[in-house]
Structure formats: structure tokens, C-alpha cells
Chain A
Amino acid sequence: MLTIDHLVKSFEGEKLKRRKRKQAQQSQQGDDALPSRVFAVNDVSLEVQTGELFTLLGPSGCGKTTTLRSIAGLETPDSGTITVDERVLFSAKGSNGNGRAVNVPANKRELGMVFQSYAIWPHMSVFDNVAFPLQVKPRNQRPGKAEIEQRVHRVLETMELRKYADRQATKLSGGQQQRLALARAIVIEPSLLLLDEPLSNLDAKLRESLRYELKRLQRELGITSIYVTHDQIEALALSSHVAVMREGNVVQLGKPRDIYQNPRSKFVAEFIGTSNFIPGTVASSDGGHYSVETTEGRLTLESAASMPAGTEVVASIRPECVGLHTERPGNVPNVWEGKVTTRAFLGDAVDHVVVVGKHEIRARCAPTVSVEPGTTVFLHLEDDKLSLVPID
């Protein structure tokens, strides 16, 4: 549906320029001492299927918004191609077969977009905001007045905004404004909907309820969507696929569950959820069965990664996968003895921090479990819950 191929976008950083000039003066090293441009998006390739909700996830400055804005046409990439439904929206010279540069302007791309700030036009009513995209269509495609009214009302109905149609757009609450922004984006029935952190301006409670609302709507309308967020919980809850980005690159792409359970790098494991990291060396590997030597003893685990013996690695395990026992569980591998140092009651769970040798390992237990600090406990690191990532 949407294909992005080798997308690159760089900016000339004003700060960087100044720093560079200063450094050049001081060290007289010449110009190649520092890169002159910041690469916001550095060779990103993606494929999004019809009907999917595809999420670009990453910390701020990772290039996710720049990627989205490049799809929207609000940013002109340096190179690469962007295709939606066989229609080439952008192609730098030489990036596609026939070598002709294509750059469809944003207002001719016929995409829907919800901005982080919603960008509700304050000088228009709710109705006018939604009608605008229909009113500005080229004359030969523009629907009649009656049809516009009917379509706007239908969309407002879907968003439960019908009764606010005549209200000044700024008089709506945060959640209503968010729905209005969505209504405006889908009124032209775009083939692709772009969402730029649409929930980040709302308070936590509202965010949670709107998250499910958004998922339901997206599924009902069947509209292919690209969702940009830095909130990992949002990404896991909403998406059919997630691309985790870092410093302009996609570092891991997959289904939410796969990414959560099998992070391929320390960065992903750390960014999505929390994780315990245990450094070690691969002692032996045999078709996915690994044995890793650590300072606290040997760990056996299953991993799809290919790491030859002798590689320095990090074994990662989620706190909720760590088994906490007050008595040594019988006849299972990967049991470590330690002492509870801190305990925190979180309502739906209880966190225990257990010191094993030099390591602090966090175990998340059911709210019924509560172990006094100072108690000696046994941690069970199940072999299929451990994953292996390279050290950074």
C-alpha cells in the first residue's frame, strides 16, 4: 500500500554550522572535521499493508516525525521514493527507474493528517473545519453543497460531534478537538491517514480511553494509518506493526508482541518496557540453544539470534518474567539466589529489587506476593523468556 524506499532527509543545523566554524577556527582542521548536515532520516525503507495501523516509534529526534512529514509532503527528502497505491508521490532524481524527479505537492497528495496540536482553525466553526477539505477540492471534483453538508454530518456523526456542528471550534474540549481533527482528516476518505502524536496533548485518563476509541474507529473504517508516537504503551496497544526508530534509522520492525518479547538490541529492550540486563559471554551455541557465562553463573536460554561462542552479549529479561520464590525451585536451570533490597507496591503489581552478586534484578510479582526486604529469595530466569542482544 505504502512503500518507502531508501528515504534520506538531512537538515543544515544552524547550531552545527556555528560550532563547526568555531572549531575550524580553533583547530584549523578544515571542513571535514564535523559533518555539515544532520541526518534526520537516514536510509529508511518501509512497507505498509492496506488496512494496517503502522506505528513509527522512537524517542524525540529519532526521525519519526520527519518521516511522516515526508510522506505528507510537508518536507522534501534528499533522496528515496515514496509510493502510495502505485502512485509515486516522491522520487528524487535517479531513485526510480526512469530517473525523473517526482514531488507531488502536499495539497495534491490526497492524504489525511492529524497534527499533534490538532491545528483546528480557530476562526471556523466545527462544521466549517470539516467541510474545508471538501470545499477546496478542484472544481470538477468538488461535491455539491448538499452533498458536502451530508458528508460532513455523516463524519461528525461517526465522531459523536454532530450536536456541536455550529459551535466555534475552539470551544470544544481537548478530547472533542482531537475527534474533530480526526473527522477533518477522514472526510475526504483518504487512502492513507497520517497521525502525528495525536494523543500526546491529552491528560493520562483521556489518553487511555481515546486510545481504544482510535483503535475501534480505525478498524471500523478500515483506513490504512501511519501513527507516530514516542509512547511505547500506545504503540503496543494500537499497532499491527511497529517500526522502532533511532537516530534516523529503523532499528527493529515487527509485530508488537515480537518486538516486546524478542528485542534485537539493548536500545529496543530498554525503550519498550523495562528490562533487566545481564552481561556475559556466549559459552556455546547449538541451533538456538545457548549457554551464556556470566559473573553469577551460567545461563541457558533459547534465542533466534546467531552469536558464535566467545561473543560478548547481554541477556535481557522483562521484570514480569522473573520468577520470585522464597524456596529453591527444584530441578530447573537458571536459578539465582539473592536478597530483596527494596519493595514497591504499584497497585496492580509489586516490584521487588533483588541483589544477586553485583547485579540488581527487578522482579514484578502479582499484588498478592510481598516479600520483606532483607529476605533471601530465589530468582528463576526461565530459558524461553530470556533474550540475547548484542552489547552496544
Chain B
Amino acid sequence: MASVTTMLRSAGRADAAGWRRFVPTPKVLIVGAVIVVIGYLAVVPLYYLLWGTFFGADGFSLAGFGRAYGNDRIVGLVGNSLWFAFGAAILSLVVGTGLAYLQVRTDVPFKSLFFAASIIPLIIPGILYTIAWIFLASPDIGLINAALKPIFGGAVVDVFTVWGMIWVEGLHLSPLVFLLMVAAFRSMDPSLEESALMSGASRWTVFRRVTVPLVRPAIVAAVLIMTVRSLESFEVPALLGLQNGIYVFTSRIYFTLRTYPPDLPAAGALATGLLMIAIVGVALSSLAGRGERTYQTITGKGFRPRPMELGRWKPVAGAAIVLYFALTVVLPLLVLVYTSFLKFYRAPSKDMLTSLTLENYQDLIHTSSAMTALKNSVLLGVGSATIVMALMAIAAWIVVRSRIPGRKLLDHLSFLPLVVPGLVLGLALSFVYLRSPIPIYGTLFILLIAYVTRYLPYGMRYAVTSMHQIASELEESAQVSGASWWQSFRRVLLPLLAPGLVAGWIYILVVSFRELSSSILLYSPGKEVLSILIFEQFENGQFPVLAALGVVMVLTLVVLVSVAYKLGAKVGLKQD
């Protein structure tokens, strides 16, 4: 009887179902919207970038390339870029790998300093780090030069050279290498080294013939990633290189756009070149990363990493760590704090110390530009973090759980912005919205779009990792209990995802505060964010006020980062 009723019912519905197929359910609407938005954000700017580069007022043209790379400029440009990028990558690799080895595999003292040093790139924005090094090592005003002048009779170090750029960028990147290599060393079974030692090999032979070959994939990946990041770096080349006319891709793009009238096709040609190099680098590094997995096939059950005893080298290693910590953390922060208490920037002397003042901090509160910039930074940070994590919660479901065809493509699309240098994205977005009939250019919205696009990959990583940690049975049992897709998403998945989403949210908030390279091409006067304001103040020579603003910014970030770190540890995520 029951089956007859069912049959009747389903027969009656057959027509209705055919008709209803075209009425979108909330699931289709939401999923569709997310796919469209992510696709738009990831693809449209690149399309316009290429279009704007190759099509001028009079159709297809390669004139932009001629103006960008011509007059033998290409040799100096590419040469400087690669010299700078490889130099910084090698410096960060040597320092970061050495520290990671000491941290993971030896009984080196001061291990707690590593933690502090490894989150510094999150805490000190690149622009402040670069400015701090100008205060330290500029030939005219650098404190190090001032201190050494009596001994050597002149400026000893000059930060406004390619070597200076390599030094600052390399040190700023070294904590990232450290984190990458710590992971590599941790995943290596220590008995692989111990067995080599038992075979009679010396420590050096073990390092050369066992340790290095085993982490080689990680080393190759680290070099490539750091090279790409150095190539994309804007702060260091702009503040240090332009002074003496040392151009790399990013600073040349910036310079090309700042001259009047801005040569958009030439800038586009440079940006396209930079983008190509970045794509090649990222592709190679992911290939190298794939090789790593084949080496991780055998690890023992009894996995007990025992630290190697350094013996009489212990004090040497300890001193190296203290020196590293002083160079990367203490000196740059100290010089900022020192400068923030001065009326005029000068080297310290006896009568200087009596004239320390809090005026700069009072100025910050009373100047409207600082307050506006802070407000804009907070608005953009909160806005972009919220939008990204909301998009990515759905996108992660599509990628991890759904059977929607093309979900892999969505995964790749979300990671696409990772390859695009910030300055290139800024340029691409200005190509899009200069032409757009919607008046977005010159408002905060264009910055919001830039930030959301740039941080899609980070949001994706947090959301996907959290989604993987939730057993699919939890969602299925909700559906069996009668919940609709949206109900089970909202009532079951979302609460379980929450810790990961919140951690990602705070991470994006933190990195958005440091964003400079996209903003610099998209902001308009009166709509500054904190990093832009610091850049402007530097160009105007307002060093003490800038330092005070920097100190406030660093303190804010310290609070945010420590919250993010706590939450990140809770959901098992490591930040880079």
C-alpha cells in the first residue's frame, strides 16, 4: 500500500521536477556566486594587464616592450634583478638553513630566541625594516657608520648598494627559510644520520653525503621561493636602489608610472616580464617540492629526535644565534624606538639623550592623516579578511567535499594570485578600473578588491586544511537527519571550521596591515593606509614621526600576531 502511494506521488511529481530543475536552490546560488567571484578576481586583472600591454590606442603594438627594455636597458635591469634576487635568496638560505639545523638537530643554547626571530617577518613590515636599516647603515646618517667613523675615518657600510639591498632583503627573508627548513629537518628520520655516523663517517661527511642530499628538494624549493619573493619585493629596491639609480623590475615599474605622463604599456611590458619570471620560479619550486615526497617514504616507528651534542662548539653556536637575533630583531627595533623619541634625526650623543621627547607620539594623535590612515587600514584589513574567509569557507567545501566538475580548477584559480607580484596586481587592477564605468578608482574599494585578490591563496590554505580535518561523516549524518545543504553547512560545518577560519582571518588582517606594493599604485591622496603614509613620510624626510608611527604599528601587530599564533597552533597550522 505504502509503495503504491509513493509511486503515485513520484509520478505526480515527475512534471514538477522537470520544471523545478531551473529554479536554483540556495546551494546552487551560493556555490555559483562563489565560483564566479573567485574566477573574476583571479582572471580578469591578468587579462586586462595583457590587453593593456599589447593594445594601445592604435591596436596591437609591441612599442611598450621597446620602451621598457630598449636602449640596452634590459641588460642592466635583468642583471640587477637577478643579482639582487639570487643574492638575497642565497643569504637567506645560508642563514635560515644553518639556524634550522641548529634548532632541530643540536643542543644549541637560546632555543627560545628562535621562536621570536621566526615571527619577525610578520611583525616588522618590510617598509619599516628597510627604513630601520637606512637609519643604521646609510652612509650619511647611519648609526653604525657614525659609531665606526672615529675608527675608520669614513662611512664603512653603505646600504644604498646592491649588496646593501641583498643584506636587508636576505635578513628579512631568512626567518621564512628557517621555517621551511625546520619542517624539512623535522620530517627527516634522525637515524639516517646516526647510521651514517655508525658507519664511521665524520660529522662533515654525514652532513655532506646524507643530510644535504636528503633535504635538497627543500633547499631547491626555498631558493626558488626566496628568489621569486625578492624579485617581487618593492620596499627594498624602491627605498634603497632608487637612491643610486639601481633599478630592478619592481622599482622600474614604479618609476615608469611616476613620471608624467605615465607610460602604461611600458609598465605593462615590465610587469608581464616580471610575471613570467615569477610563474617559472613558482612552477619550478612546486616541481622541486614534489620530489621531496618520494624521500619521505621511510620513517621509523620509534621516531625520537635526539639533539646532537655540540660540545666545545656550543658557545660559538650560541654567540652566532645572539648575533643573528641582535641583527634581525634588536637593532632594527631599537633604532626605530630611538628615532621615535627625537625631534630631529641624529646620531646619539650625551646632550641628545636629555632632549628625548614624546612629541612625535602626541603629533600622531593630533594629525588627521595618521588617524585616517589607521582607520583605512583597519577597515581594509577587517573587510578583506572577512570577505576572503567567507568566500573560502564555501570554496573549501567545493574543493574538498563536493563532486562539482571543475572543482580542481577553482582550487588552482584561488592559488593563482600567489604567483602575481603585488605591484603587478596593482598595475593590472588600475588597467581594469581606469576603464571601468563604475567609479571605483580613487576609492577605498579598489584597495579592498586588491587585498581580497592577494589574500585568496592564504584564505584557501586555512579553510582547506580545516575542512580536511572534519570527517565527512559529520556532514553526512546531518543530511541523514534531514538537514538541507545550507543547514548542515551553517549548523555543522561552519562551527567546526570556525577556529581555522578565525585564525586565517587574523592572519589576513595582519598581512593586510603591511601591504604596500599593490596599494602604492592604487591609492589616491587622502585615502592613504598606514604603510603608504609611512612611505610618504619617508619621502618627505619626517623620520621621527614616521618612527613613532612605526612603533605603534609594530605594537599593534605584536598583539594581533600573538593571537593568530595561539589560534594557529590550536588548529594545527603553521604560518609563513
Contacts and interface: CB of A to CB of B under 8 A. Distances in A.
A111 interface: yes
A136 B196 CA distance: 9
B198 A122 contact: no
Contact of B300 (A117, A121, A194): A117
B257 to A, nearest CB: 48
Contact of A117 (B198, B216, B298): B298
A201 interface: yes
Interface in A177-225: 177, 181, 184-185, 188, 194, 196-197, 200-201
A358 B189 CA distance: 51
B200 A122 contact: no
B309 A76 contact: yes
Contact of A111 (B192, B198, B302): B198
B498 to A, nearest CB: 30
Interface stretch (A102-110, A152-160, A278-286, A346-354): A102-110
B191 interface: yes
B203 to A, nearest CB: 8
Given A75-B306, A121-B196, A107 B201 contact: yes
User: B interface, by DSSP: helix, strand, loop or mixed?
Assistant: helix
A337 B302 CA distance: 47
A133 interface: yes
B198 A106 contact: yes
Interface string B284-308: 0000000000110111111100100
Nearest to B304: A65
B440 interface: no
Contacts of A109: 198
Interface string B187-227: 00101101111111111011001100110100000000000
Given A106-B194, A184-B195, A188-B200, A117 B299 contact: yes
Contact of A119 (B194, B201, B209, B297): B194
A177 B301 CA distance: 15
B410 to A, nearest CB: 34
B4 to A, nearest CB: 53
A188 B199 contact: yes
A271 interface: no
Interface string A97-131: 00000000111111111011111111100000000
Contacts of A133: 199-201
B295 A123 contact: yes
A137 interface: yes
Contact of B202 (A111, A121, A136, A196): A136
- A122, A137, A177: most-surrounded residue (chain B CB, <10 A): A122
A161 to B, nearest CB: 16
A97 to B, nearest CB: 25
Nearest to B308: A74
A170 B301 contact: no
A116 B191 contact: yes
Contacts of A65: 302
Interface in B273-329: 294-295, 297-303, 306, 309
B202 A115 contact: no
A116 B201 CA distance: 20
A132 B199 contact: yes
Interface residues of B, number: 31
Contacts of B301: 116-117, 200-201
Contact of B297 (A107, A116, A170, A194): A170
Given A111-B198, A121-B192, A136-B201, A116 B298 contact: no
A242 interface: no
B298 A177 contact: yes
A73 B206 CA distance: 15
A188 B201 CA distance: 12
B302 A107 contact: no
B214 A74 contact: no
B191 A136 contact: no
Given A75-B306, A110-B200, A188-B200, A115 B300 contact: yes
B298 A120 contact: yes
A344 B209 CA distance: 55
B466 to A, nearest CB: 29
Nearest to B301: A201
B214 A136 contact: no
B200 A74 contact: no
A91 B252 CA distance: 66
B302 A184 contact: no
A7 interface: no
A117 B197 contact: no
A359 to B, nearest CB: 38
Interface in B77-121: none
- B200, B203, B301: most-surrounded residue (chain A CB, <10 A): B200
B71 to A, nearest CB: 48
Given A111-B198, A117-B303, A121-B192, A170 B214 contact: no
Contact of B189 (A117, A136, A137): A117
Contacts of A110: 200
Contact of B294 (A118, A170, A188): A170
Interface string A66-77: 000000111110
Contacts of A201: 300-301
A112 B195 CA distance: 9
A108 B200 contact: yes
Contact of B197 (A106, A116, A122, A137): A106
A270 to B, nearest CB: 24
A121 B214 CA distance: 8
B300 A122 contact: no
A118 B199 contact: no
A129 to B, nearest CB: 9
Contacts of A75: 306
B378 to A, nearest CB: 38
A33 B299 CA distance: 39
B213 A119 contact: no
A122 B214 contact: yes
Nearest to B190: A119
A193 to B, nearest CB: 11
A118 B203 CA distance: 20
A137 B196 CA distance: 11
Given A116-B302, A119-B191, A122-B295, A137 B200 contact: yes
A73 B299 CA distance: 22
B294 A74 contact: no
A351 B306 CA distance: 44
Contacts of B209: 132, 136
Nearest to A174: B298
Contacts of A74: 194, 197-198, 306
B165 to A, nearest CB: 36
Given A132-B196, A184-B199, A118 B300 contact: yes
A191 to B, nearest CB: 13
A141 to B, nearest CB: 9
- B189, B206, B297, B309: most-surrounded residue (chain A CB, <10 A): B189
A116 B205 CA distance: 23
Nearest to A117: B300
Contacts of B195: 113, 115, 119, 121, 181, 184
Contact of A132 (B201, B298, B306): B201
A276 to B, nearest CB: 33
A76 B309 CA distance: 9
A316 to B, nearest CB: 31
A117 B194 CA distance: 11
Nearest to B299: A117
Given A116-B300, A170-B298, 9 more contacts: A106-B194, A107-B198, A110-B200, A117-B298, A122-B294, A122-B298, A123-B295, A133-B199, A181-B195
15 contacts: A72-B194, A74-B198, A74-B306, A107-B202, A113-B198, A118-B300, A122-B294, A122-B295, A123-B214, A132-B199, A170-B295, A177-B298, A194-B198, A197-B302, A200-B302
Interface of B: 189, 191-192, 194-203, 205-206, 209-210, 213-214, 216, 294-295, 297-303, 306, 309
The 3 closest A-B pairs by CB, nearest first: A117-B300, A133-B199, A136-B201
